[in-house]
């Protein structure tokens, strides 16, 4: 599917803010993923055209960064960290529990299309609330089997359209839409658990 | 010693992320004061304060600023918020709790170095923090703190918030600049250093989130106030991210030089489940392991270096007696393998081979000679890699072999991990 005119205009507007239009490649990839859920070769060619750059440059950049998706996934994405600080707090057991609860393997999507999950060795920056997972780019910390059940139950019911603006663009005119999303999906609440403020109180 | 806090002292204030609340705690008074000063005076002030970069290397911030060549414009400030070191979550906390404090620091640094366009490079995973900064930038613009002719002082400054997309390597300053230019995030050869030839080939300063967050307070209270805290070579405070087997993991801001024992035992509530401390790791995934005998070492760049590790980005990963050190090292090595950008051979291939060997130890398929093979691979990566990521991938595993060789031998004799069962029972 073609990238919308609005998104292409946004990409050009963002490019104008940088001293070099090439700097807008990552923001442009975010904008497309934010609109379509993933980034196709055809979309990369459109980005190239909008920025006046060769398509090879767009793909070279896109393929380097692990957060850009090249194929459609479930309505929600769940990433569970298994690096050492999380491992120390039982991340392996939570990962096994998540796998059993979802009934599909690491990297797969549930048959109802609700959740795509995978484990990662890349630290997500919530070691103080380990074990943790990232649900649609929001952190869920201090996981227990019970908490995982509640989260999965919510995700299975929640429609959260893949077109929801999950990835606001820097300085994006879509700011209003981003806020609407924050209200309908996971509220940007402070994660529970003894972190920063609480631990020094 | 009374606990002195600088960055987190107002974090108990509700809604501190809002501009009006932040201003009520004294926010932006440092920036206003800075705008009354000459940029050179600010550089001198920061030099005098002894502030060292909080991103990991501990380079004196004022000196970094003064390396910019005279008369070469434009020049850029880049705030490094690509916090990805396993064990670190302080930048996230500082941004989440007080985005304006970070932004004020960026504005002060920009004015001091004479830059009119600053960037914040934030890791892609920090979406709520991205939103917090975006809102802060908009609020600050409305209040006239950024934009054209700020506060009628004739100074123009614009801040662009740039979102990364999942690459640990982009925390390395030259890789960050390459990524910001739109390329694959591969590091560049130094020299030329970013101060001479950085972003878009122009003079550039890259400062960590925690570093810039200190600036409003230094400007407000003066260099002498700052040098009164901490140690002679480590002024001020640091935010330590404690994780692992402690009762109260979390972020703790402590004066530099505070003994590690105080952090773990008093603030962290000690090792959980009444277990014994086996080891701890300051600095994050990269840094060498330390032992209970090092508990009285001070939290300070130089003291920790003297003890045989590095303070790095301020992580403190605590490991109790049930921890399999081989498995901990295996996770870190797999992390470095996953995150290696592939530019240079020692890191790309070496981390692959180390990860394979660690997997073999855990699976019970390793040979006795594999311990020395691991060390050999380590020696051939360290000092031969293009950037510090490669070097750092070897420090923790090599230190684990040094202090816990017997655990590798147990993995050989038991044909697998002797801790697996204990760990599973511990969590259940």
b/e per residue, B149-164, with b = 16+ CB within 10 A? ebeeeebebbbbbbbb
Q: Cβ B253–A200 below 8 Å, yes or no?
A: yes
Q: Cβ A127–B244 below 8 Å, yes or no?
A: yes
pLDDT at position B421 is 57
- 3-state SS class at B252: strand
The H or E element containing residue A51 is helix A41-51
Are the C-beta atoms of B277 and B264 separated by less than 8 Å?
yes
Q: Which two tokens stand for residue B390?
A: 């490669």
Interface test with B, best of A20, A65, A83, A84 (most B CBs within 10 A): A84
Instruction: Decide if the complex's ipTM is over 0.85.
Output: yes
pLDDT at position A37 is 87
Arithmetic mean of pLDDT, A79-106? 96
- 3-state SS class at A139: strand
The predicted-structure confidence for B276-286, as pLDDT tens digits, reads as follows 999 999 999 99
**B253 in contact with chain A, both atoms CB, cutoff 8 A:** yes
pLDDT at position A201 is 33
Least confident residue range of A38-47, A188-197, B375-384, B419-428: A188-197
pLDDT at position A182 is 34
A164: pLDDT strictly greater than 90: no
**B241 in contact with chain A, both atoms CB, cutoff 8 A:** yes
Strand ranges of the sheet holding A138-140, from the earlier edge strand across to the other edge: A115-120, A76-81, A133-135, A138-140
Nearest-by-Cβ selection for B335 from A83, A89, A175? A83
Arithmetic mean of pLDDT, B328-346? 96
A189: pLDDT strictly greater than 80: no
Strand ranges of the sheet holding B250-255, from the earlier edge strand across to the other edge: B250-255, B237-244, B315-320, B277-282
pLDDT at position B367 is 96
Nearest-by-Cβ selection for B244 from A65, A88, A200? A88
Could you tell me what percent of chain B has a pLDDT over 70? 98
Mean per-residue pLDDT of chain B:
95
List the single residue in B with minimal CA-CA distance to A145.
B428
pLDDT at position B379 is 96
The predicted-structure confidence for B53-110, as pLDDT tens digits, reads as follows 999 889 999 999 999 999 999 999 999 999 999 999 999 999 999 999 999 999 999 9
A14: pLDDT strictly greater than 90: yes
Nearest-by-Cβ selection for B163 from A30, A88, A178? A30
**B182 in contact with chain A, both atoms CB, cutoff 8 A:** yes
pLDDT at position A172 is 41
Residues from chain B that touch A134, judged by Cβ atoms under 8 A, are 125
pLDDT at position B14 is 95
Q: Cβ B86–A123 below 8 Å, yes or no?
A: yes
Arithmetic mean of pLDDT, B186-201? 96
Distance of CA B182 to the CA centre of its chain: 23
In order of A120, A188, A199, B374, B392, the CA distances from B347 in angstroms are 20, 38, 38, 14, 10
List the single residue in A with minimal CA-CA distance to B342.
A64
As a whole number of angstroms, the distance between CA B320 and CA B279 comes to: 7
A197: pLDDT strictly greater than 70: no
Residue B394 pLDDT grade (very low, low, confident, very high; cuts 50, 70, 90): very high
* DSSP assignment letter at A55: H
Are the C-beta atoms of B161 and B149 separated by less than 8 Å?
no
Arithmetic mean of pLDDT, B301-321? 95
B355: pLDDT strictly greater than 70: yes
pLDDT at position A198 is 36
The H or E element containing residue A71 is none
Domains of chain A and any CATH numbers: 5-70 (1.10.10.1590), 76-160 (3.40.30.10)
**B248 in contact with chain A, both atoms CB, cutoff 8 A:** yes
As a whole number of angstroms, the distance between CA B337 and CA B93 comes to: 27
> B27 to chain A, minimum CA–CA distance in Å?
19
Residue A181 pLDDT grade (very low, low, confident, very high; cuts 50, 70, 90): very low
- 3-state SS class at B157: strand
Residues from chain B that touch A17, judged by Cβ atoms under 8 A, are 160
As a whole number of angstroms, the distance between CA B375 and CA B400 comes to: 11
Are the C-beta atoms of B303 and B231 separated by less than 8 Å?
yes
List the single residue in A with minimal CA-CA distance to B254.
A200
As a whole number of angstroms, the distance between CA B159 and CA B156 comes to: 10
As a whole number of angstroms, the distance between CA B35 and CA B111 comes to: 7
- The single residue listed with the structure tokens 């442009």 is A28
As a whole number of angstroms, the distance between CA B281 and CA B218 comes to: 30
Are the C-beta atoms of A23 and A14 separated by less than 8 Å?
no
pLDDT at position B422 is 53
Arithmetic mean of pLDDT, B330-349? 96
Mean per-residue pLDDT of chain A:
83
CB atoms within 10 A of CB B235: 24
As a whole number of angstroms, the distance between CA A189 and CA B114 comes to: 37
Level-2 CATH architecture, domain B231-320: Roll (3.10)
Level-2 CATH architecture, domain B19-228: 3-Layer(aba) Sandwich (3.40)
Arithmetic mean of pLDDT, B338-346? 96
Q: Cβ A125–B92 below 8 Å, yes or no?
A: yes
Provide the β-strand partners of residue B290.
Answer: B280
Are the C-beta atoms of B125 and B162 separated by less than 8 Å?
no
pLDDT at position A171 is 43
More confident residue, B117 or A37: B117
As a whole number of angstroms, the distance between CA A143 and CA A149 comes to: 10
Domain residue ranges of chain B, discontinuous segments joined by +: 19-228, 231-320, 325-427
Q: Cβ A196–B251 below 8 Å, yes or no?
A: yes
- The fold for domain B325-427 equals de novo design (two linked rop proteins) (1.20.1440)
Residue B2 pLDDT grade (very low, low, confident, very high; cuts 50, 70, 90): low
b/e per residue, B28-47, with b = 16+ CB within 10 A? bebbeebbeeebeebbbbbb
Interface of B with A in 129-168 (CB under 8 A): 130-131, 134, 138, 160-168
Size of interface A-B (CB pairs under 8 A): 207
The H or E element containing residue B277 is strand B277-282
Q: Cβ A23–B181 below 8 Å, yes or no?
A: yes
Residue B139 pLDDT grade (very low, low, confident, very high; cuts 50, 70, 90): very high
Q: Cβ B252–A87 below 8 Å, yes or no?
A: no
pLDDT at position A136 is 87
The predicted-structure confidence for B227-262, as pLDDT tens digits, reads as follows 999 999 999 999 999 999 999 999 999 999 999 999
* CA nearest to B52, candidates B385, B305, B336: B305
Residues from chain A that touch B163, judged by Cβ atoms under 8 A, are 26-27, 30, 167, 170
Q: Which two tokens stand for residue B9?
A: 């002292």
Could you tell me what percent of chain B has a pLDDT over 90? 95
């Amino acid at each position: 599917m073609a990238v919308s005119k609005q998104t292409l205009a946004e990409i050009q507007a963002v490019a104008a803010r940088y001293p070099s239009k090439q700097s807008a490649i990552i923001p442009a990839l975010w904008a497309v993923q934010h609109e379509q859920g993933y980034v196709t070769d055809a979309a990369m060619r459109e980005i190239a055209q909008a920025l006046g750059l060769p398509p090879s440059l767009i793909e070279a950049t896109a393929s380097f960064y692990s957060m850009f998706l090249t194929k459609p996934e479930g309505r929600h994405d769940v990433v569970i960290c298994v690096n050492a600080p999380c491992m120390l707090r039982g991340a392996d057991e939570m990962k096994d529990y998540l796998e059993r609860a979802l009934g599909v393997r690491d990297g797969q999507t549930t048959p109802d299309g609700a959740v795509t999950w995978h484990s990662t060795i890349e630290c997500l920056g919530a070691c103080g609330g380990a074990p943790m997972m990232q649900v649609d780019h929001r952190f869920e910390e201090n996981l227990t089997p019970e908490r995982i059940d509640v989260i999965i139950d919510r995700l299975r019911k929640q429609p959260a359209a893949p077109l929801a603006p999950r990835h606001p663009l820097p300085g994006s005119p879509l700011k209003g839409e981003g806020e609407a999303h924050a209200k309908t999906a996971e509220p940007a609440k402070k994660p529970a658990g003894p972190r920063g403020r609480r631990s020094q109180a | 010693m009374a606990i002195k806090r600088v960055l987190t002292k107002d974090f108990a204030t509700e809604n501190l992320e809002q501009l009006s609340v932040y201003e009520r705690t004294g926010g932006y008074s440092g920036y206003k004061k800075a705008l009354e000063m000459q940029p050179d005076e600010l550089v001198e002030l920061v030099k005098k304060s002894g502030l060292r970069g909080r991103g990991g290397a501990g380079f004196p911030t004022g000196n970094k600023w003064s390396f910019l060549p005279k008369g070469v414009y434009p020049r850029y400030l880049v705030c490094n918020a690509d916090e990805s070191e396993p064990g670190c979550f302080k930048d996230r906390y500082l941004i989440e709790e007080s985005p304006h404090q970070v932004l004020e620091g960026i504005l002060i640094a920009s004015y001091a170095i004479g830059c009119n366009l600053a960037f914040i490079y934030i890791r892609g995973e920090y979406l709520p923090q991205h939103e917090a900064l975006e809102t802060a930038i908009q609020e600050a613009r409305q209040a006239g703190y950024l934009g054209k002719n700020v506060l009628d002082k004739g100074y123009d400054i614009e801040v662009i918030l740039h979102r990364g997309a999942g690459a640990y390597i982009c925390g390395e300053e030259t890789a960050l600049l390459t990524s910001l230019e739109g390329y694959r995030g591969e590091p560049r050869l130094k020299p030329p250093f970013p101060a001479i030839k950085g972003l878009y080939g122009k003079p550039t300063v890259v400062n960590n989130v925690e570093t810039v967050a200190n600036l409003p307070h230094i400007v407000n209270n003066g260099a002498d106030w700052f040098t009164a805290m901490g140690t002679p070579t480590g002024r001020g405070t640091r935010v330590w991210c404690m994780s692992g087997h402690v009762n109260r993991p979390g972020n703790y801001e402590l004066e530099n030089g505070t003994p590690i024992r105080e952090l773990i035992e008093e603030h962290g509530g000690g090792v959980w489940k009444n277990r014994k401390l086996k080891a701890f790791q300051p600095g994050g995934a990269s840094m060498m392991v330390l032992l209970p005998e090092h508990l009285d070492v001070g939290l300070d760049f130089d003291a920790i270096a003297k003890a045989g590790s590095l303070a790095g980005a301020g992580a403190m990963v605590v490991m109790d007696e049930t921890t399999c050190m081989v498995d901990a090292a295996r996770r870190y090595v797999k992390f470095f393998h996953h995150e290696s950008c592939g530019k240079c051979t020692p890191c790309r291939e070496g981390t692959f081979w180390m990860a394979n060997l660690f997997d073999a130890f855990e699976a019970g398929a390793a040979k006795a000679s594999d311990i020395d093979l691991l060390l050999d691979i380590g020696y051939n990566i360290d000092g031969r890699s293009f950037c510090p990521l490669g070097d750092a991938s070897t420090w923790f595993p090599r230190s684990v072999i040094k202090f816990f060789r017997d655990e590798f031998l147990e993995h050989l004799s038991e044909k697998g991990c002797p801790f697996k069962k204990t760990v599973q029972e511990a969590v259940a």
